């Protein structure tokens, strides 16, 4: 057997562009409404992308709910009573400081503008600039932020000028109207986070599930933000999906639970087979209006270390405010302490689309397989097998001699357990390459020997090693290697 030499053949700066092109070519991710030239920062998942996304969602869901007795899941509606967003602080506070260039009319998020500039500076200078920015952001010092942009002579990428407006806050929530009579309708918001659906159901779940503190409520679902600078493929979208869990604890114990969830979530990331040096924690200096501690888990994306998940100690801010705005009691009776209180909350909040992008970035590899005799290469997505869109490809060597029938039988045996793919066109080599490109961990070839001794060739995606195994053992082997728990 020929052992391939794996050699990366791709400059890092091209990696993101290559991944975007690959996702389109192989049915993972398309731009929304592409035939109308697309809608900015909105994407559709294709046949393989939606399977990958679903597998990641399922893995998160099971890790959170099935694997923890004291965490249950819900599925709250996207539309919520408008007062929810008053109580949560989103109507007044869910905004980012923005600045416009007067010549191009292009709007920028102030922190993004300064961060991009810091990257062009020598490390020490860049770090000093970011530290100054953090201090000004923490103080809501908008005049100071504008001065910092001017002092650094930062120019607009489009007009090339430094002719800036003042720094202003810009609310990121989308709104629409509910009701049939124009003018009399109520304004409702598309939720900017899934968390509030959990808070307003806190007592419903606690009472009906007879939950005892500490306990958690998990939810996955769409969220919407009118991001001003939406770029980086599916990293920053206007419509995206979140996977959030709110963990309700006794007041005073939030610090230890915060540390617990930081560690637990990092373990989850490492369980995806990603090396620890691809992650780092970033502790927040400027805390959100609801938090007493917060950090981001950052992953080393093709464009550098960026947030994939947040762990936030949200105090009792949300429940307390919902109690005040709704006039309904949202306290919990702790039988051990014989006391009523509003629980404190630790939140873990991860973007599903950002996780898809993380998994794609990690999995995407261009390999040079050239030997002395011939030039060769492949693009392979080395997904963790449990996340792969297709687990098994069943490939009859020829379209005749009864081989397709045997292949179909194997498909029928396996399809209820995991996603299989049948293909009989083209040479086996080409079919293997197509399966590599969508990250299928196992390919099984049915040939004439199968008819004689009921064995098949199974090919392993990452090593490209092939071995002969009984056809009767295929299902169990694939199940064992692709199971998450």
Integer Cα distance of 249 and 129 in angstroms: 38
Sign of CA dihedral 256, 257, 260, 261: negative
Of the residues 309, 318, 436, 447, which one makes contact with ligand ATP according to CB under 6 A: 309
**91's tokens:** 């109507």
354 touches ligand ATP by CB under 6 A: yes
Of the residues 59, 240, 248, 279, which one makes contact with ligand ATP according to CB under 6 A: 240
Phi first, then psi, for residue 3 (nearest 5°) are -90, 120
Query: Which residues, other chains included, contact 189 with Cβ-Cβ below 8 Å and sequence gap of 6+?
Result: 80, 82, 85, 90, 173, 174, 175, 176
Of the residues 22, 90, 117, 236, which one makes contact with ligand ATP according to CB under 6 A: 236
Mapping DSSP to helix (H, G, I), strand (E, B) and coil, where does residue 74 land? coil
DSSP string, 402-453: THHHHHHHHHHHHTTTS-EEE--SS-HHHHHHHHHHHT-SEEEEE-HHHHHH
CB of 123 to ligand ATP, least distance (A): 22
CB of 23 to ligand ATP, least distance (A): 15
Of the residues 353, 367, 436, 447, which one makes contact with ligand ATP according to CB under 6 A: 353
Q: Which is nearer to ligand ATP, 49 or 310 (CB)?
A: 310
358 touches ligand ATP by CB under 6 A: no
Helix, strand, coil percent values for the chain (each to nearest 5)? 40, 25, 35
Q: Which is nearer to ligand ATP, 31 or 482 (CB)?
A: 31
User: CB–CB of 394/410 below 8 Å?
Assistant: yes
User: CB–CB of 198/88 below 8 Å?
Assistant: no
Q: Which helix (H) or strand (E) holds 186?
A: strand 186-189
User: CB–CB of 153/117 below 8 Å?
Assistant: no
Q: Which is nearer to ligand ATP, 245 or 395 (CB)?
A: 245
Binders in 414-473 for ligand ATP, by CB under 6 A: none
225 touches ligand ATP by CB under 6 A: yes
Strands of 200-343 (E only): list them.
215-224, 239-249, 279-283, 293-301, 304-315, 332-334, 339-341
CB of 200 to ligand ATP, least distance (A): 18
Per the DSSP assignment, residues forming a β-bridge with 387 are: none
User: CB–CB of 67/271 below 8 Å?
Assistant: no
118 touches ligand ATP by CB under 6 A: no
Q: Compose the 184-213 pattern: x for residues touching ligand ATP by CB under 6 A, - for all others.
A: ---------x--------------------
The residue number with the shortest CB distance to ligand ATP is: 351
CB of 194 to ligand ATP, least distance (A): 9
90 touches ligand ATP by CB under 6 A: no
Of the residues 141, 227, 259, 368, which one makes contact with ligand ATP according to CB under 6 A: 227
237 touches ligand ATP by CB under 6 A: yes
CB of 111 to ligand ATP, least distance (A): 8
Binders in 242-271 for ligand ATP, by CB under 6 A: 242
Of the residues 49, 97, 310, 441, which one makes contact with ligand ATP according to CB under 6 A: 310
Residue found under tokens 């890092």: 12
**165's tokens:** 């407006």
Largest CA-CA distance found in the chain, in angstroms, rounded: 81
**118's tokens:** 């810091």
Q: Which is nearer to ligand ATP, 298 or 413 (CB)?
A: 298
Phi first, then psi, for residue 193 (nearest 5°) are -155, 155
Residue span binding ligand ATP (CB under 6 A) among the ranges 2-10, 99-107, 147-155, 236-244? 236-244
Of the residues 110, 198, 308, 478, which one makes contact with ligand ATP according to CB under 6 A: 308
Total binding residues toward ligand ATP, as defined by CB under 6 A:
16
Q: Which is nearer to ligand ATP, 269 or 354 (CB)?
A: 354
Of the residues 351, 389, 439, 441, which one makes contact with ligand ATP according to CB under 6 A: 351
Query: Which residues, other chains included, contact 150 with Cβ-Cβ below 8 Å and sequence gap of 6+?
Result: 162, 164
Q: Which is nearer to ligand ATP, 100 or 353 (CB)?
A: 353
Residue span binding ligand ATP (CB under 6 A) among the ranges 62-70, 129-137, 307-315, 334-342? 307-315
Q: Which is nearer to ligand ATP, 54 or 460 (CB)?
A: 54
Q: Compose the 360-399 pattern: x for residues touching ligand ATP by CB under 6 A, - for all others.
A: ----------------------------------------
- Region for residue 146 given its phi and psi (left: phi exceeds 0; alpha: psi -120 to 50; beta: otherwise): alpha
In the complex, which residues of this chain contact ligand ATP (CB under 6 A)?
A: 193, 225, 227, 236-237, 240, 242, 307-310, 349-351, 353-354
């Amino acid at each position: 057997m020929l052992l391939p030499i794996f050699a990366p053949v791709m400059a890092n700066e091209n990696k993101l562009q290559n991944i975007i092109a690959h996702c389109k070519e192989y049915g993972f991710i398309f731009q929304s409404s592409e035939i109308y030239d697309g809608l900015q920062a909105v994407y559709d998942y294709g046949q393989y992308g939606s399977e990958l996304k679903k597998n990641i969602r399922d893995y998160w869901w099971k890790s959170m709910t099935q694997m923890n007795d004291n965490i249950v899941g819900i599925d709250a509606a996207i539309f919520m009573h408008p007062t929810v967003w008053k109580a949560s602080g989103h109507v007044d506070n869910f905004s980012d400081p923005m600045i416009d260039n007067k010549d191009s009319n292009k709007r920028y998020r102030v922190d993004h503008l300064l961060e991009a500039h810091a990257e062009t500076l020598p490390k020490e200078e860049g770090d000093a600039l970011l530290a100054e920015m953090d201090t000004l952001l923490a103080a809501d010092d908008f005049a100071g932020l504008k001065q910092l942009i001017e002092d650094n002579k930062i120019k607009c990428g489009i007009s090339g000028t430094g002719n800036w407006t003042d720094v202003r806050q810009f609310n990121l929530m989308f709104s629409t109207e509910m009701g049939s009579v124009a003018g009399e309708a109520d304004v409702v918001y598309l939720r900017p986070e899934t968390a509030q659906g959990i808070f307003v159901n806190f007592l419903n779940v606690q009472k009906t599930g007879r939950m005892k503190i500490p306990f958690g409520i998990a939810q996955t679902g769409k969220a919407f933000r009118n991001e001003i600078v939406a770029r980086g493929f599916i990293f920053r979208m206007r419509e995206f999906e979140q996977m959030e869990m709110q963990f309700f604890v006794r007041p005073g114990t939030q610090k230890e639970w915060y540390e617990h969830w930081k560690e637990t979530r990092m373990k989850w990331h490492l369980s995806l087979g990603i090396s620890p040096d691809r992650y780092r924690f970033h502790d927040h200096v400027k805390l959100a209006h609801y938090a007493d501690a917060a950090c981001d888990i950052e992953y080393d994306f093709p464009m550098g270390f960026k947030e994939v998940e947040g762990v936030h100690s949200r105090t009792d801010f949300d429940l307390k405010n919902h109690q005040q705005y709704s006039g309904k009691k949202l306290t919990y009776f702790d039988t051990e302490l014989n006391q009523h209180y509003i629980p404190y909350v630790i939140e873990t909040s991860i973007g599903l689309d950002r996780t898809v992008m993380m998994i794609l970035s990690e999995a995407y590899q261009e390999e040079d397989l050239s030997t002395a005799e011939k030039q060769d290469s492949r693009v392979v997505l080395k997904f963790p097998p449990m996340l792969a869109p297709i687990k098994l490809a069943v490939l009859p060597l020829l379209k005749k001699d009864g081989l397709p029938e045997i292949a179909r039988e194997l498909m029928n045996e396996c399809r209820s357990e995991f996603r299989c793919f049948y293909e009989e066109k083209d040479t086996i080599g080409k079919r293997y390459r197509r399966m590599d490109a969508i990250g299928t961990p196992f390919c099984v070839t049915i040939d004439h020997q199968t008819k004689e001794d009921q064995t098949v060739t199974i090919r392993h995606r990452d090593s490209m090693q092939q071995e002969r195994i009984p056809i009767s053992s295929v299902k169990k082997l694939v199940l064992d290697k692709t199971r998450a728990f």
